[in-house]
Homo-oligomer: A and B are copies of this chain.
Amino acid sequence: MAKVAVDVMLKPEILDPQGQAIVRALPGLGFDQVTAVRQGKHFEVELDAADAAEAHAQAEKIAATLLANPVIEDFSVRLLD
Contacts and interface: CB of A to CB of B under 8 A. Distances in A.
A44 B48 contact: no
Interface residues of A, number: 34
A72 interface: no
Interface in A3-58: 5, 7-9, 19, 22, 25-26, 29, 31, 33-49, 58
B26 A62 contact: yes
Contacts of A33: 47-49, 58
B1 A42 contact: no
Contacts of A41: 39-42
5 contacts: A22-B66, A26-B66, A33-B49, A34-B46, A37-B43
